[in-house]
A and B are shown apart, each in its own frame.
Chain A
Amino acid sequence: MTAGLSVLQTCALSLLVFTGASQFAFVGVIAAGGAPLSGAMTAILLGTRNTLYGLRMAPLLQWSGLRRVAAAQILIDESTAMAVNRGSTPAARIGFLSTGLAVFVLWNAATTAGAPAGTAMGDPRTFGLDAAVGAAFPALLWPRLSDRRNPVVAVLATAVALGPVPFTAAGVPVLAAGGVALLAGALTRPRERS
């Protein structure tokens, strides 16, 4: 792929990592010239939200053993969203499985089709694809901004990330911005329930 990943590596990301924001982050850090492992760290940090989804989904799905091990791979934004509001365990399982599997198949099919195309295309800047990545992240961020503290965190994180760009290795600024989340979480007061 154009960021410096092979077609096989891009497909492996979709198949094995399978959580969109983390994959984009991984590719984003590497495209910016970052070390592969700092890309992986950023991807893992972004993956923490799936843990929260899991905490919310576990009592609903009530799976154990092998089923839980398998279900974990398709525990993502979409499958959680389609299951979390169901009233019963069977309904939640249906919502979770159908959405999770459908997204898994489509996502990997799209990657398999898209990755060789990316290689064949040449310089991605001609098609504005570097700007497309800059647009994909706002689209992922957008739904979260309704909590009024999140825009503040976002602005602070932007500043913290841009500050060290001139004198640190690529990938470090993004991880530094993760520190904003830690600080904000530790220092802010509990959310007011309205």
Chain B
Amino acid sequence: MWLAIVVAALGCYALKLAGLSLPTRVLGNPVVERIADFIPVALLAALIAVQVWSDGPSLTVDARTAGPGFAVVALLLRAPFLVVVIGAAVVAALIRLV
């Protein structure tokens, strides 16, 4: 686990420093720019899906679905980040109670 933490830390730091050090024209490459725009979108979407609808090796729909469900409603209402996250937890906890 510590190895993974060190790898993640070094990797993330190297990416930050690289950004400040590389010549700006790297961004001029449109393919690089588009891929870089898409990576966080694809990874975040995938993380949501795996986090919410998988349980080990099986796909399931349970109270966790309330998380992104509540989040979308709250975000449409322009709720701040903490309200979104805490609200989703409360909703899921209530669903499990009943």
Given the interface contacts A166-B57, A190-B30, does A157 sit within 8 Å of B46 by beta carbon?
Answer: yes
Instruction: Give the residue among B50, B65, B94 with the most A Cβ atoms within 10 A.
Output: B50
Cα of A51 to Cα of B59 in the assembled complex, Å: 34
Contacts of B53 in A (CB 8 A): 162
Selected from A16, A21, A32, A190, the residue in CB contact (under 8 A) with B44 is A21
A174 contacts chain B at the CB level, 8 A cutoff: yes
Cα of A24 to Cα of B95 in the assembled complex, Å: 24
Asked if A52 contacts B8 (CB within 8 A), the reply is no
Nearest-Cβ distance from residue A77 to partner chain B, whole angstroms: 10
Q: Is the interface of A mostly helix, strand, loop or mixed?
A: helix
Asked if B92 contacts A131 (CB within 8 A), the reply is yes
Cα of A45 to Cα of B8 in the assembled complex, Å: 10
Asked if A59 contacts B24 (CB within 8 A), the reply is yes
Interface size class of A (residues with CB under 8 A): 35 or more
* Residues of B that sit less than 8 Å from A by CB: 1-9, 11-13, 15-22, 24, 26-27, 30-54, 56-59, 63-68, 70-72, 74-75, 81, 84-96
Would you list 7 pairs from A and B whose C-beta atoms are within 8 A, ordered by A residue?
A12-B5, A128-B95, A135-B67, A150-B37, A181-B38, A185-B31, A186-B34
Return the 7 tightest CB-CB contacts between A and B, nearest first.
A54-B19, A134-B67, A185-B35, A177-B46, A135-B88, A131-B92, A128-B92
